[in-house]
Amino acid sequence: MTFRQVLDQGYVRLVNHMGSDLSVVNAARVSYAKESSALSERDIRLIAFLAREGHTSPFRHVILQFEIYAPLMVARQWWKYVIGSAHMEGTGDSLEAWNESSRRYITEEPAFYIPQAGEWRSKPENSKQGSGEVLPAESGVKLTAELKEYIELGIQKYEEALSSGVCAEQARLFLPSYGMYVRWYWTASLQAVCHFLNQRLEHDAQKEIQDYAKAILEISRPLFPVSMDQLVSLASPKE
């Protein structure tokens, strides 16, 4: 599986990957001029040891490249991992790259994430972040309708600005931002991917980015089953 639909219009697509569980093993064993030709039980124990003891550099010899289409609110949370990857204490992991579509250059019809009536959540009772229970149906219906109206007005103003000769990089100011879908390529080491998953599969992560994290896990895990089982503490997230 290389493609996974997420939310109403979003998706995660595996574009390319390099390496395997065996790549991790051989990167670790090169210190002793050793190499395995097939993954053995001894190799599996070595991967478990590397993950358990925090010897993570061998996992950075495996690379994954994804195309992601997600609301801007998800993209900006995700982007923190690229910014922080070069400063992860004790890892030195800078093997991440991010290239995103820009409305400075494209004027294709914008798409927006609009929660359905039963998807609006209350604020949590004992936390400043996250969300609580699903709001009553009547509240959800009202919120969905109001959001649609707001988005339609923004699109109208955006298109009017373009038609009147305003450049695309300024006309985009009229577009509601956080729910607008953006598309990007994310290339990262296996260690960086697993670091992202460990944080964004947690129960207190925003639900929308949890959904994307589940998609990343479901696509990646068959490629690196041993390494991901050892590196991802929530390797089997509950639906």
Per-residue pLDDT of the chain (239 residues; tens, 9 = 90+): 899 999 999 999 999 999 999 999 999 998 776 778 899 999 999 999 999 999 989 999 999 999 999 999 999 999 887 765 554 444 444 567 878 777 766 667 889 999 999 999 998 887 767 788 999 999 999 999 999 999 999 999 999 999 999 999 899 999 998 999 999 999 999 999 999 999 999 988 999 999 999 999 999 999 999 999 999 986 554 43
- E strands in 155-226: 181-189
Rounded Cα distance between 142 and 150, Å, is 12
Asked: is 3-105+180-231 a CATH 3.30.1360.170 domain? The reply is yes
201-to-36, 125, 197, 234 alpha-carbon distances in Å: 33, 21, 6, 7
76 annotated active-site: no
End-to-end CA distance of the chain: 18
Could you tell me the residue ranges of all domains in the chain? 3-105+180-231, 117-174
Active-site pick, 13, 121, 200, 221: 200
